[in-house]
Amino acid sequence: MISSTTKVAELAGLVARGGVAVLSGAGLSTESGIPDYRGPTGRSRRAEPMTYQKFVGSAQARQRYWARSHVGWRHIGAARPNAGHRAVAALERRGLLAGIVTQNVDGLHQAAGARQVIELHGGLDRVVCLSCRERTPRAELERRLREANPGWDEAGAAINPDGDAVLTDAQIAGFILVDCTGCGGVLKPDVVFFGENVPRPRVDECFAVVGGARALLVLGSSLAIKSGLRFVTRAAELGIPIAIVNQGPTGGDGDASLTLDAPLGPALTDLTALLGAE
């Protein structure tokens, strides 16, 4: 078996040529305390994710979502970038990256200092009105929800792997929602729910980054669904070298010229040290 040290050195040789497109997934954020969906930290997931169809079709579903998310946001909002995020930002500062496509909605790439980030699935730090499409900061919504729910009982709430909270039916029933201040429309987090399509222009932008790259570096994604796998497939079709760093196998391993099964933070810290990009 080839050692991880040897593979990191091989990865450094690939990245050193520059023009690298990064595709990151939930596995990059687990070291920041945000569990993933399909990796080791996501296996204890108990709740089914909210779908777009349920959210728009049921006021009760929206009340349930926002009550749980209101509590869970404290966990997501308090997360800080880890060594992996900082390493990616360091590679960008060194001028080695063609761009960063992230499947994550936590904003930790940007918090670490990265600038060329495309949020494929949107960001939890923003809210969008489904009627007038105005986007507002999540912090503003959280303030309004606190004002609308003084003394609201959330005692004993535990956090699920997706960042929302486990609440009783009684707690959810007592939660008051707020609407768009501009038009009174329904508010939704500015993220792509299950059952919802990523906007086509955003997908095209991601394909352009990958298609114009010298190499594709996948970080912390199981590539179990088409949303991320399609970019690996495109790179393979174009003959672009693909490297994958992840804990566990991925759906793109067959197309990769290099795979490294290792914790992201230590592996990427070693990579930046070899490249002098710390």
Report CA dihedral (43, 44, 46, 47) to the nearest 10 degrees.
-60
Q: Mark the binding-site residues for Zn(2+), compressed into ranges.
A: 129, 132, 180, 183
Give, in degrees to the nearest 5, the angle at Cα 171 between 168 and 172: 90
The residue behind tokens 């609407």 is: 179
Are 106 and 132 found together in one domain?
Answer: no
Domain hosting residue 177, numbered range: 47-78+124-191
pLDDT at position 261, please? 96
**215 and 259 inside one domain:** yes
Query: Using an 8 Å Cβ cutoff, are 12 and 19 in contact?
Result: no
How confident is the prediction along the chain (278 residues), in pLDDT tens digits per residue?
566 889 999 999 999 999 999 999 999 999 999 876 554 444 444 456 789 999 999 999 999 999 989 988 888 889 999 999 999 999 999 999 999 999 999 999 999 999 999 999 999 999 999 999 999 999 999 999 999 998 876 655 555 545 566 787 888 988 999 999 999 999 999 999 999 999 999 999 999 999 999 999 999 999 998 999 999 999 999 999 999 999 999 999 999 999 999 999 999 999 999 998 77
User: Looking at the domain assignment, is residue 226 inside a domain?
Assistant: yes
Cα 245 versus chain centre, distance: 16
Does residue 41 form part of some domain?
no
Domain boundary among 142, 166, 191: 191
Q: Which member of 70, 85, 109, 121 is catalytic?
A: 121
Would residue 48 be called left, alpha or beta, if left means φ above 0 and alpha means ψ between -120 and 50 degrees? Answer: beta
Q: Residue 94: count other Cβ atoms within 10 Å of its Cβ.
A: 16
Binding residues for NAD(+): 103-106, 220-222, 246-248, 264
Instruction: Report how many domains make up the chain.
Output: 2
Question: What distance in Å separates the CA atoms of residue 278 and residue 275, rounded to the nearest whole number?
Answer: 8
Same domain, 113 and 132: no
13 token code pair: 């040789």
Which residues, other chains included, contact 143 with Cβ-Cβ below 8 Å and sequence gap of 6+?
Answer: none
Within a domain: 252: yes
If asked whether residues 248 and 226 sit together in one domain, one would say yes
Q: Which among 132, 128, 130, 125 has a CA at the least distance from the CA of 182?
A: 132
Measured distance CA(140)–CA(135) in Å, rounded: 11
Choosing from 191, 218, 249, the residue where a domain stops is 191
Annotated binding site: 103-106, 129, 132, 180, 183, 220-222, 246-248, 264
* 138 and 5 assigned to the same domain: no
The half-sphere exposure of 75 on its side-chain side, counting CA atoms within 13 A, is: 20
Residue 57 lies in a domain: yes
- Helix H or strand E encompassing 117: strand 117-119
> For residue 261, what is the domain's CATH number?
3.40.50.1220
**Residues 186 and 199 placed together within one structural domain of the fold:** no
Residue 142 lies in a domain: yes
Neighbours of 40 (CB within 10 A): 12
97 and 148 fall within a common domain:
no
pTM, two decimals, is 0.91
Q: Are 72 and 102 found together in one domain?
A: no
Same domain, 147 and 23: no
Cα distance between residue 38 and residue 25, in whole Å: 11
In a domain? residue 21: yes
Cα distance between residue 108 and residue 97, in whole Å: 17
CATH number at residue 51: 3.30.1600.10
Which one of 161, 191, 221 terminates a domain? 191
Tokens of 173: 């029933």
Residue 42 resides in a domain: no
For residue 200, tell me if it sits in a domain: yes
Residue 70 known to be catalytic: no
74 and 183 share one domain: yes
Question: For the chain, give me the number of helices (H) and strands (E)?
Answer: 10, 11
Residues 95 and 183 in one domain: no
Residue 19 and residue 156 in one domain:
no
